[in-house]
């Protein structure tokens, strides 16, 4: 029987425009961990995709995601990087969060200027807002907090 090494951090991200990917890459560089992209195989591109994305998020419409590789690996902390769409997380991020223990999730929410409304149950939430130009500051704070726990 193979014993799995316990991982300190495991990062997942969902991106439509590339912003979450950029943030995830900065976080993984600071923590020396891997990032795994979540895919829902939906076409959210263009104005119709943008409208549909907001509708799906606002109405809590479910999407199917490719299950992450080996969720049986023991992890201290999960880091989930996801965009905010119409006041809620992207549907693919919501699907992922149903698969992992929410109380061990350090959630990084990316938006133009809003914050996630339902903030209960997470280990921590970090807001990166375009209007605040706080991306590097928030990433540094997250990385430092995780390195020193």
For residue 68, the domain's CATH number is 3.40.50.360
27 in any annotated domain: yes
Question: What domain count does the chain have?
Answer: 1
70 in any annotated domain: yes
Give the pLDDT score at 3. Answer: 45
What's the gap between Cα 67 and its chain centre?
Answer: 15
30 in any annotated domain: yes
Q: How many residues does the chain have?
A: 149
23 in any annotated domain: yes
1 in any annotated domain: no
The mean of the pLDDT values for the chain is: 88
Q: What is the pLDDT of residues 12-42, one digit of tens each?
A: 999 988 999 999 999 999 998 889 999 998 8
2 in any annotated domain: no
Answer yes or no: is pLDDT of 84 > 90.
yes
Q: Can you tell me the distance from the alpha carbon of 63 to that of 68, in angstroms, rounded to the nearest whole number?
A: 15
**Residue 10: strand, helix, or coil:** strand
24 in any annotated domain: yes
140: containing domain: 7-147
44 in any annotated domain: yes
Percent of the chain with pLDDT over 70: 94
Query: What is the arithmetic mean of pLDDT over 58-72?
Result: 82
Q: What is the pLDDT of residues 126-146, one digit of tens each?
A: 999 998 999 999 999 999 999
């Amino acid at each position: 029987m193979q014993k799995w090494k316990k991982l300190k951090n495991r990062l997942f991200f969902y991106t439509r425009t590339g912003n979450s990917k950029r943030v995830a890459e900065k976080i993984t560089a600071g923590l020396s961990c891997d990032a795994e992209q979540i895919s829902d195989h939906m076409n959210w591109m263009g104005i119709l995709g943008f409208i549909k994305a907001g509708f799906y998020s606002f109405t809590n419409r479910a999407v199917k995601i490719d299950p992450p590789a080996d969720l049986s690996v023991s992890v201290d902390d999960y880091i989930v990087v996801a965009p905010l769409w119409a006041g809620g997380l992207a549907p693919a991020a919501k699907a992922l969060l149903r698969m992992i223990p929410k109380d061990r999730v350090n959630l990084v929410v990316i938006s133009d200027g809003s914050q996630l409304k339902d903030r209960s149950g997470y280990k921590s939430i970090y807001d990166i807002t375009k209007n605040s130009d706080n991306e590097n500051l928030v990433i540094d704070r997250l990385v430092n907090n995780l390195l020193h726990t």
